Structure 1
Amino acid sequence: MGTSMNDTSSAGAHSHVGAAVPVTAAPGVDGRGAVMLLRIVAALACLETLVQGLLAGLLLNGDVDSIDAHGFNAYVFEILVFLQVVAAVLLWRRNRWLRWPLMAAVGILVAAFVQTFLGLESSLAAHAALGVALCGMQTALVLRAFLLRAEKSVTAA
């Protein structure tokens, strides 16, 4: 007569919270090398956000010497994010319909520059908040990059 909260069939009349949503396979993208490059650089940049958080925590705990490492690591992160943009451009050039990696990578790069500016200006509240946001944005990009299905190149070299 009724449906349970775990009923995921289409026979139920109502949609339930937590019901499974069918996922269709994402279309394959051209360029295994570009996909792999994006995945590697994005994963390394994601790890850098965690290192930045650790270094910031050390600084907040009173280890004033960690500020130099935190500053240096910020530039390492920016270089990785720039390389992430390059990888996203390479991927986009082969798959003009696939715009989200490029938009996300450019957005993260802009946010990283703003983050560095806020840190240099000692705007710590905004700097800390944007740092947490950058960690989340970078994690989301990595997760989505690993969901891309790379196919053999369809264009002749």
Structure 2
Amino acid sequence: MSGRPDSDTDPETARTEAAEERDKAEDRAADEQDKAEDRAADEQDKAEDPAADEQDEVEDRAADAEEARRARWTAAGTGAALTLAGLAAALLRLTRSAPALVPAAYAGGAAVCAAATVLGSRGRTRRALWLLVAGVMVMALGDQFD
């Protein structure tokens, strides 16, 4: 007695595996047929209604324009707010006994933010963002000298 199990598969098990393979093949064929029918239906819809595609394209362009408009307003508004804050801080530091470098830094940062406002209103929103960051950093650096 060697202790090895029989290598023959049970006939019932063999039939079950073959049936599973047939089912899988049938499922794959049905999936491919469904995909082909979907593609054919899409092509038929496109052929029947080309105006719908044009209308979708117009709506997409309108959405892009609205998004760009919102970005311009955001950049311009943020730049204007930071410019006013920097100028107010510069004027407040001028009235107190602070080194001259402090109000100059606030005014310089406000000038950079004002430039960002102009760029943002013209649609250069990425450059405006970086200028806003630079302007606030200049103001923060000036605050460190106080």
TM-score scaled by length of structure 1: 0.39
- Structure showing greater radius of gyration is 2
**Bigger fraction of residues in helix:** 2
